[in-house]
Amino acid sequence: MKVGIINVTGYTGVELARLLYQHPEVKLTSVTGRSAAGQKLGAVFPHLAGLELTISAELGDVELVFSAMPHKESAKEVIPLLGKGIKVVDISADFRLKDSSQYKQWYGFTHPAPRLLGEAVYGLTELYRAKIASSQLVANPGCYPTGAILALAPAVKAEIIEPDIIIDSKSGVSGAGRSLNLQTHFSEANEDVSAYALEGHRHLPEITQELKLLSGEKSLAVSFVPHLVPMTRGILTTCYAPLVSGKKEKQLKELYLDFYKDEPFVRVVDFPPHTKHTLGSNFCLIYPTVDQRAGKLIVISVIDNLVKGGSGQAVQNMNLMLGLPETTGLGAPAIYP
C-alpha cells in the first residue's frame, strides 16, 4: 500500500519516515517539504538515504497520508484529501478538539471545517480502537496528552479519584519542533530545567476533553504544567489526585493491570520508569502508587514523545485503518543505553 507524508522535514515527519522504512506492509512513495523540495531525502537526512525518495512540493498517488504540518496549516492540506477519499492521519492539533470555538481560544484561528471535528476520531488507540479502524480521518493525539491520559484513564473511568487533578510533565527539547527557537538553543536549554505555559498550555483542552469523556461527562479541575528538560527525547509525566476512599496500593495496581491487560504498547510496571526505558520505542510505561499519608493517587508515565507521543502512534493508527495488526512495524524495544 502506498503512503505519503506531508512535511517530512520536521521531527515528526522524519521519524515517520524512519518507522515506515522498515514497515513490511506499506511503502512510503511520496514525501513533501517546501523548504527542501527537489532535494533527495537522503541528502537532507543521511540516515534515510536507503529510501531513495525525492522531496516534492506536492504529493503523488497514495492511499493514506500523514499530515505533519503545523496547526492551522494542516487542515488546509487535509480537507481536499478527504474529498478525494484518501485516508488521513493528522498529526497536528487541527482535528483533536470537538468544540470548534476552542481553536480560536487556544490556537488563534477559526476552524475551516467544524463539521469534520465530529467525524474525526481521536487517535488514542487504547481508547478508540474500533472507531479508528473504520475512520477516514484520525486526529493523532498530542505528546503530552498521550502520557497524561494513559496515566489517568483507569482511575478516572473507575471513579476512584476526586476531580481535582494535577499533571506535571517534563519533556525533551525535540517536542518544541525543528524550527529555530532561542528557548531550545543548546546554550539556553543545556544544564537547565524550566516550567512554561503556566497560564494554560494548548494541550490542556485536549487532556480535559478526553478525561471528561472517561468520567461520564463529570466536571474536572485539571492543572497541567509542562517543563523543558535538557534531553532530546522523552516525556515523564507525574499525575496527582485525591482518592475518594482508602484504596490500597495492591488494589490500584490490579485496576491498572486489568485496564491495560490486552494492550500491546502499554505496560504497568513495578518500579518508577525512566524516559530512557522507552527511548525509540512505541511503548508507554505506567507506574501507579498511593501516597497513604496524603490519601492521594500518584501515577507516573513515560513515553518517547516522537514515537508513542507522535509518529509511532500515527503508524499504530494507520495499521488499524488499513486492516493490519496494530503492532506491525512497531515491535522494536527501547534503545539502550
Buried b (16+ CB within 10 A) or exposed e, 120-137: bbbbbbbbbbeebbebbb
Closest by Cα among 239, 244, 222 to 158:
244
Rounded Cα gap, residues 321 and 89, in angstroms: 9
Choosing from 31, 143, 239, 266, which is the catalytic residue? 143
Under a CB-based contact definition with an 8 Å cutoff, are residues 24 and 328 in contact? yes
Residue-wise DSSP of 48-64: GGGG--BEESS--S-SE
DSSP reduced 3-state for 303? strand
Rounded Cα gap, residues 11 and 68, in angstroms: 9
Instruction: Report cis status (omega within 30 of 0) of the bond before 337.
Output: yes
- Residue 65 to residues 21, 136, 275, Cα–Cα distance (Å): 15, 10, 29
Under a CB-based contact definition with an 8 Å cutoff, are residues 321 and 64 in contact? yes
Phi then psi for 239, rounded to 5 degrees?
Answer: -110, 140
Type of residue numbered 37: A
- Our answer to whether residue 284 is catalytic in this structure is no
Q: How many CA within 13 A on the CB side of residue 243? A: 19
Closest by Cα among 225, 221, 224, 199 to 212:
221
The residue to which cell 539502550 is assigned: 336
Under a CB-based contact definition with an 8 Å cutoff, are residues 117 and 98 in contact? yes
Active-site residue set: 143
